[in-house]
Amino acid sequence: MNKLLVILKKVDLRNKIFYILALLAVFRLISNIPIPAVDASALRGFIAQNQIFGLISTFTGGSLSTLSIGMLGLGPYITASIVMQVLTMIFPALERMYKYDGEAGRAKFNQYSRLLTVPLAMLQGYAFLGLLSRQGIVTGLTTFDWITAVTVIVAGSVFIMWLGEIISERNIGNGASILILAGIVAQAPTTLQQLAFTYTRADLFIYLGMALLALVVIAGVAFISEAQRNIPVNYARRIKGSKVYGGVSTYLPLRVNSTGVIPIIFALSILLFPSMAASFLAGSNIPVVSSLALWVNNFLQNAFWYSVIYMLLVVMFTYFYTAVTFDPKSISEGIQKQGGYIPGIRPGQPTAHFLSFLLNRINLVGALFLGGIAVLPNIVRSATGISAFAIGGTSILIVVAVALETMKQIDAQLSMYEY
């Protein structure tokens, strides 16, 4: 409460928070403006039967389940970011731009991601509308209506991407993460309503167990998010004239979960493509294509195999994103140039190998934790049969992680005011 009062007293910080809240209100407005010719009840039934689309609908604040103009949310932008980061491992020029060209290179790289968002939004919007048209959920669209709907969907995705970047510029949390958090929080009343309507006295102990499990998950997420391995670094003493430089000891922190919720979001974006393609091609006139599409769709709807693939993707993207954002070689070179060394490890290449070895071991813990949290809702749903808990683990992870990161940035700004 005292910290809240301090925040409200700082005019600049208070204005930033109110501005972000206003942008979130605009985001929620966009998420509730539907496109025409939609059978709402059939759409809700389709989303409820497909766990991938249901989970993505949750992250977009229900935009997908209402088929609003912002139904794709940040999906195209996230997919574009994945594609661009994969390309950095293929094209050295992109890697140099992203890692070594400073803020100008990073800004140019982000601009390419924004441009790639537009065709991806067109592709995803058209594919999803085509899927719903085959299911009889979207009917009566003329050619002009198709063009208009896809254009509006693309515009909504670009607008939401812009909202996320405007929020990030205020230095109070990551804009994309805050928008996803807003979508999850917006769905909370609906989830609680479902629990209230399906509650029976026989489920009392199950609900109490779920509440206890939620507290354990929150504590575990907070602990893993803050856990880190400190690598000691010593700096040699240097004498220049009458002055002495260096001779201090510090540490290099390696976080257990340095990627946050990015691997889960990436995994969901990748899982969306085969599910959407399979559902779209299931009505094909070519028997081989339709049979293969039905097999893929049924395979992804199987809770066990869906959980296995989901967890493997989360683990894979944890290592991938860490490899993109953390380069042991450049870190070791930086330490060596500043006259530093890790006790017992030779500077240069041996230091890079040591950091890479430690990073892989630490990442294994973080990756398995993220994967376990991602598939926890499916385990709970299979054990209890209560579908309202199907989004619990991932949602809690995102809410806690984003809240911790946002509070850190607010504390940093408060510290600047104090100094």
Residue 199: the pLDDT is 63
Burial track 381-393 (b if 16+ CB lie within 10 A, e otherwise): beeeebebbbbbb
Beta bridge partners of 233: 250
In 227-302, alpha helices (H):
262-281, 287-301
Mean pLDDT of 200-211: 72
pLDDT exceeds cutoff 80 at 383:
no
Both tokens of residue 290?
Answer: 């339709």
pLDDT at 244 over 60: no
Residue 82 has which token pair? 């994945």
**In this structure, which amino acid lies at residue 131?**
L
Q: What is the pLDDT of residue 38?
A: 65
Residues whose CB falls within 8 Å of the CB of residue 27, separated by 6 or more in sequence, listed in order: 61, 70, 160, 163, 179, 182
CATH class entry, domain 20-198: mainly alpha
CA 377 – CA 358 distance, rounded (Å): 31
CA atoms within 13 A on the CB side of 372: 10
Is 175 in contact with 404 (CB distance < 8 Å)?
no
- pLDDT in the model for residue 159: 92
Which 3 state secondary structure label does DSSP give 31? Answer: coil
CB 84 within 8 A of CB 94: yes
Res 288: pLDDT: 81
pLDDT tier, 409 (very low <50, low <70, confident <90, very high otherwise): confident
- Across 148-157, 206-215, 331-340, the highest mean pLDDT is recorded for 148-157
Least confident of 48-52, 75-79, 188-192, 405-409: 48-52
318 vs 197, higher pLDDT: 318
Q: What is the mean pLDDT of residues 119-143?
A: 80
DSSP letters, 200-228, are -GGGHHHHHHHHHHHHHHHHHHHHHHH-E
Which residues touch 12 (CB under 8 Å, ≥6 apart)? none
Q: And the tokens for 232?
A: 């000691």
Check pLDDT > 70 for residue 243. no
CA distances 23 to 56, 170, 187, 288, 411, Å, are 21, 12, 18, 48, 22
- Rounded Cα distance between 292 and 287, Å, is 8
Helix (H, G, I), strand (E, B) or coil at 419: coil
Q: Chain-centre distance of CA 300, in angstroms?
A: 21
Q: What is the pLDDT of residues 84-130, one digit of tens each?
A: 887 887 888 887 888 777 788 888 888 998 999 999 889 888 888 87
Higher pLDDT, 148 or 60: 148
Say if residue 299 is exposed, middle or buried (CB neighbours under 10 Å; 0-12, 13-18, 19+): middle
What tokens appear for 25 in the block?
Answer: 């209100």
Reference 106, options 324, 310, 279; nearest CA is: 324
Rg (CA), the chain: 24
Across the range 232-248, mean pLDDT stands at 68
4-13, 109-118, 226-235, range with the lowest pLDDT: 4-13
- Residue 118 is predicted with a pLDDT of 92
pLDDT value of position 202: 64
Which pLDDT belongs to residue 93?
84
Spatial neighbors of 140 by CB under 8 A, at least 6 apart, are 37
**Six-digit token pair at 38?**
């939609």
Is residue 230 within 8 A of residue 252, CB to CB? The reply is: yes
Portions of the chain given CATH number 1.10.3370.10: 20-198, 205-419
Alpha-carbon span 102 to 21, nearest angstrom:
31
Q: Compute the average pLDDT of residues 397-411.
A: 80
- Contacts of 157 by beta carbon, 8 Å cutoff, 6+ apart: 70, 72, 73, 74, 75, 76, 77, 117, 121, 125
Fold of 205-419: Preprotein translocase SecY subunit (1.10.3370)
What sections of 135-261 are H helices per DSSP? 143-168, 175-198, 204-226
Largest interatomic CA distance in the chain: 85
Q: Which of residues 228 and 286 earns the better pLDDT score?
A: 228
